[in-house]
Structure 1
Amino acid sequence: MSALHMYNGQPAFTLRTPVASAIPLVCDSPHSGTIYPEDFGHAIPRALLRAAEDTHVEALWQAAPDVGATLLAAHFPRSYIDANRTLDDLDPELLEAPWPTPLAPSEKTRLGYGLIWRNVNATTPIYSRKLPVAEVQGRITRCYQPYHEALASAIERTHAQFGAVWHLNLHSMPNNAYERLQIQSAHPLADFVLGDRDGTTCEPAFVDLVEQELKTRGYTVARNNPYKGVQLIAQIGQPGLQRHSMQVEIRRPIYMDEASRERSAQFNAVQRDLTGVLQAIARYLRDHSAVRRESSKDQPGLLL
């Protein structure tokens, strides 16, 4: 394993490859990491920082390799560096010196949730210090770049094998998502939010399938509200090239206690439901007209 794939003595991610006949599906969980680096230097208690985690999301979808998909999961915490942001989505006010290349802070950065998070919520800053440029560059080198390289490689390998690829970008959302995003909403947060950047990153039939499978199991589903998807699906989703990408957000109280981060009594049931969704996706992709069936081969193995 390359040293670039290590941080704090740990791998930056786990990549699990198919253990069943492969299908053209790549799943990634960029925010479920729970290994906090020694050099984080945060000024707030770890318990507060953990509110940023998509805790247990990779476990909810752990059956992906069993149905023939690839599953990538980050180990580093999102609040340390956010793999679902662009490298220029960085707040210059966080830095003790100018960044060497041009920056383009987004609305996420304005809220405090850019490449390097400034706040853990609207009123609680993470740091009591400015961050050295070299420290942020080290986070990029050890965590962000290896994760993106692994995901890009899985996408390209799958597309080359099948002539098409579908990507699920897996997340969870806090129950107060509208409040955190400073959005006024007249309706409650759905159990699941499917994001395809307003229909631009994924074929409609695939989004329809996932929505229907979730609703059949009793969940409420919304599209692109309040989450449309950010960098990863924007980068990967090119339906005209048979590259389809969709973000899936699950409301955290469905499967865990938001305060303790512990799995709830409903966790196993939700996990079983998502296994059923994955099985339905596998059937859909095996029958899809864009998929080269002669390329479907077993790819057993576990990579770190």
Structure 2
Amino acid sequence: MQLITHLPGSRALVLDSPHSGTVYPPDFGYACGLPTLRRAEDTHVEKLYDFAPALGAHWVEAHFPRSYLDANRNTTEMDVTLLDAPWPGPVETDPKILSKVRLGKGLIWRETDDGDAIYNRKLGVAEVQARIERCWRPYHAAVAQAIDAAHRQHGYSLHLNCHSMPAVASSHATDFPGEKHADFVVGDRDGSTASPALSALVCQHLRALGYDVAYNHPYKGVELVRRYSRPAAQRHSIQLEINRKLYMNEATLEITPGFEPLKAHLRSLVELLLATDPRRL
């Protein structure tokens, strides 16, 4: 069972898709229906960017679903209420970070975005540790390796963390339930993970294509952009959220006619980033 794809590239751009996985491991043991779980996926995101490796960009993709293990969370973001014994490792105490854990969206999800319980059992500590070893560590190693290679070869790296979001925030998804989302949300953790000029360039490009673009709201970027960015050392990471209404039917998960025009626009964005040296912005 392939859980991760890592395609090394030759350019300074790294793309990763941590939440588009559809391979549900047999040891998941979930209690809710699969259609309910599938709504947690960043469905089809990997298809929207499938042109990127041919352009020389590095590509990392998770095949495991985020509801099984969320690669965009730290291993400290542990929902200890899910476990049948004390967690032996460190547990996050920062209230801002714990807000997601309280919503049931820690490293291991407790609930779906609609508040449906995923399990009717407690998880074993060894079970969770095995998920970390099989999924989290290899995924993060691949992203780190790709960014290091890009930076080593070019003197800088651009990292685009690729996501999608529902048209309207669900009840247990964010701190803003019911909010209608923009077409795109560009997140750099309030300018801490990428040059503000680079983030502005991304926003401007998408707006020029006719899209409604929000900046750092309601998604600022999470662990993958936080962990692997250092703008002062020319390591830039941006989280990009795409509104699913642009390319798919959220009820059936089917691709809609908007998919191909959106993909062409994403290609233009990737080509722009491939041609951008952040040291000159």
TM-score by length of 2: 0.94
CA distance in 2 between partners of 1:268 and 1:155 (Å):
28
Equivalent positions of 1:169-180 (< 5 A) are 169-177=161-169, 179=171, 180=173
Task: Return the match for 1:223 from 215, 219, 229.
Answer: 215
Local SS of the residue matching 2:276 = helix
Task: Return the match for 2:5 from 10, 14, 17.
Answer: 14
Local SS of the residue matching 2:241 = strand
Local SS of the residue matching 2:14 = strand
CA distance in 2 between partners of 1:145 and 1:123 (Å):
28
* Residues 130-189 of structure 1, C-alpha deviations (whole Å, 9 max, x = no match): 00111111111111111111111111111111111111111001122274313268x742
Map of 2:106 onto structure 1: 114
Contact 1:82 1:114 in 2 (8 A): yes
Map of 1:265 onto structure 2: 257
Map of 2:43 onto structure 1: 55
CA distance in 2 between partners of 1:108 and 1:289 (Å):
34
User: What letter corresponds to residue 29 of structure 1 in structure 2?
Assistant: S
CA distance in 2 between partners of 1:12 and 1:189 (Å):
30
Counterpart check, 1:181 vs 2:174: yes
Contact 1:27 1:71 in 2 (8 A): yes
Map of 1:296 onto structure 2: none
Map of 2:17 onto structure 1: 29
Larger gyration radius, structure 1 or structure 2 = 1
Counterpart check, 1:197 vs 2:186: no
CA distance in 1 between partners of 2:201 and 2:56 (Å):
18
Task: Return the match for 1:125 from 106, 117, 121.
Answer: 117
CA distance in 1 between partners of 2:190 and 2:55 (Å):
28
Map of 1:301 onto structure 2: none
Shift of 1:97: 0.7
CA distance in 2 between partners of 1:289 and 1:241 (Å):
10
Map of 1:251 onto structure 2: 243
Map of 2:267 onto structure 1: 275
CA distance in 1 between partners of 2:4 and 2:207 (Å):
32
CA distance in 1 between partners of 2:101 and 2:180 (Å):
25
Local SS of the residue matching 1:247 = strand
User: What letter corresponds to residue 182 of structure 1 in structure 2?
Assistant: D
Shift of 1:289: 4.3
Contact 2:113 2:170 in 1 (8 A): no
TM-score by length of 1: 0.87
Equivalent positions of 1:24-173 (< 5 A) are 24-104=12-92, 106-173=98-165
Q: 1:80 to 1:184 in 2, by over 3 A?
A: closer
Gaps of 5+ in 2: none
**Matched residues, percent identical?**
48
Bigger drift between 52-61 and 176-185 goes to 176-185
> Aligned-residue CA RMSD in angstroms?
1.7
1 or 2 for the larger relative contact order (CA 8 Å, sep ≥6)? 1
Contact 1:164 1:290 in 2 (8 A): no
Shift of 1:66: 2.6
Bigger drift between 195-204 and 275-284 goes to 275-284
Contact 1:242 1:290 in 2 (8 A): no
Contact 1:178 1:189 in 2 (8 A): no
CA distance in 1 between partners of 2:33 and 2:177 (Å):
30
User: What letter corresponds to residue 79 of structure 2 in structure 1?
Assistant: D
